[in-house]
Amino acid sequence: MNPLNDIFEGILKKNHLSITNQRKQIFDSITKLSPTSTSTLINDLTQIDRATIYRTIDLYIKLKVIKKIYIGFKYKLELSDLFSSHHHHFYCIKCHQIIDFDEPDDLDNLINNLSLKYSFKSTEHRLEINGLCQKCKEV
């Protein structure tokens, strides 16, 4: 079996939720298309009711199966850090490509030092950098 599916099914079982065919299909689609938009999922999963997709996305966010990548006031969906290493994103403002990059080793130290300086308890962080990808900056 696929290790991602094992983690996914374990999360559902831990929360006493059924592993339905629709939930599996939505998870598989997110895995395949990640990062993706809700409208892309709806277009990809025409056999599943739109309301079911929205409810399942909300459930997956609550269970931390997926997370939102904010791009301005819009967002894309991708698997959470339970399924891959913690990473951040470059977003091309011209072609809309999203490029993953691993977190630099010293970023956690910087965040911890800033948190201490401002007496803030950090629980999570996101870093999204907007600009032009290599292809678009050459045009």
The confidence band for 64, taking pLDDT boundaries of 50, 70 and 90, is: very high
Most confidently predicted of 18-22, 94-98, 106-110: 18-22
Same domain, 28 and 69: yes
What's the average model confidence in pLDDT over 64-90?
Answer: 90
Same domain, 97 and 31: no
Pairing of strands 128-131, 87-92: parallel
What CATH number does the domain containing 114 carry?
3.30.1490.190
Same domain, 75 and 91: no
Q: Which residue has the higher pLDDT, 85 or 119?
A: 119
Quick one: pLDDT at residue 23? 97
Same domain, 15 and 52: yes
What CATH number does the domain containing 39 carry?
1.10.10.10
- State pTM to two decimals: 0.82
Cα–Cα distances in angstroms (integers) from residue 84 to residues 76, 116, 129, 130, in the given order: 16, 28, 20, 22
Please tell me the total count of domains within the chain: 2
Same domain, 41 and 103: no
Range of the domain at 122: 87-137
For the cut 90, the answer to whether the pLDDT of residue 60 exceeds it is yes
Same domain, 106 and 128: yes
